[in-house]
Structure 1
Amino acid sequence: MQTNTTVTQLTLQLPQWAIDKVQELPPVMPDVEQRMETVLFFAGANFKNDTGGPFAAAVFEEASGRLVSIGVNRVVPSNCSTAHAEIMALSLAQAQLQTYDLGGPGMPSHQLVVNWCPCAMCFGAVLWSGIRSLVIAGAGSQLEAITGFDEGPIHPQWRQELEKRGITLLEDVLHEQAVAQFEEFAASGRPVYNARLG
């Protein structure tokens, strides 16, 4: 009798260096620049350690700055095209808080901090996650021009779509540092993992 060998479980996790580093972070980061500095550190360390692409994201309680979760890109090591930094950070936050809705009743407002505007897939995850604030280092085609990553067809009125759903947006936080980091990644010659190399 032939047995079914279909995979029935999926596990995504941070690399060990990131797990160790999270333990060293302050539990509260009241300043948005400090939050972005942390995200940029994780993004840079991720590609330098060859544990994923140059992307990181973190979820904080917006008002207090309490760190809830950090995610880094894990696409190549996990063989999972959806293992983007935002998906990791949001999913880990939801697991930590035991809720699919980070903006549910009685909860503090949560903020997602990312080292660039979310791609087409992650933008959808942002809308559905329940977060109330999005902080990004930049937006537009500059990332694609520097690195060659394909960010997908994000909605042309994406800012308005955030606003319609009660999600505030803060742009260009530590923009120059983020761009310099993408340039460093491009110069490193590390692979760009577009499905069709587009």
Structure 2
Amino acid sequence: MTNVLQVIPARQGRAVRLQAGQAIRIVNTHGTQVVDTWCFNAADMGEFMSMEHLHATLGSIFPVRGEPLFTNRRRPILILEEDTSPGRHDTVIAACDVHRYALLGCRDYHDNCTDNLHAALRQIGLRSDECPSPLNLWMNIPVAPDGRITWGEPLSKPGDAVVLRAVMDCVVAMSACPQDMIPINGADCRPVEAHYEVLT
């Protein structure tokens, strides 16, 4: 049984609670939208999915289908159960914030994933004291042999989706990244909506 497909509006965030065994399917509706994704232990928001710890445990910066995603306490919190995309998801880049956009030349406030995370958690009555580095679904950051990175366009196509299965009771937060100054959301730099549904 599935719930109704829900929207993550362009430039905004959403958060949902999952019980252990439930899953969330996140859909790249137009094929070009990066979705910053976080996961917190529902019983203790101080434990969260951690990219740094994931690297050490998986031995890779690219999680693949079937692999667990680990917390800052080195416990699995989600499993990447399905992935219909080419599997290029970023685990290196921090969530965008007002400081990032200031460095890019913004003089006024710019929507950003860090604020979207906190707003999404507030919508369901929760808060986090920090913004962990997210799993940036569909964000394509090629890494050269010398360690240099480039800001690539997504390799995904419309309708590509991932399914993340909860290992423990948790909270998943998502942000349809508002980045419109570099081409991580496609060549036209235009953030759009994405969708999700909870699977039981």
TM-score bracket, normalised by the shorter chain, equals under 0.3
Radius of gyration: which is bigger? 1
TM-score, normalised with respect to structure 2: 0.25
Q: Which has the higher helix share?
A: 1
Q: Which has the higher strand share?
A: 2
TM-score, normalised with respect to structure 1: 0.25
Higher-RCO chain (CA-CA 8 Å, sequence separation at least 6) = 2
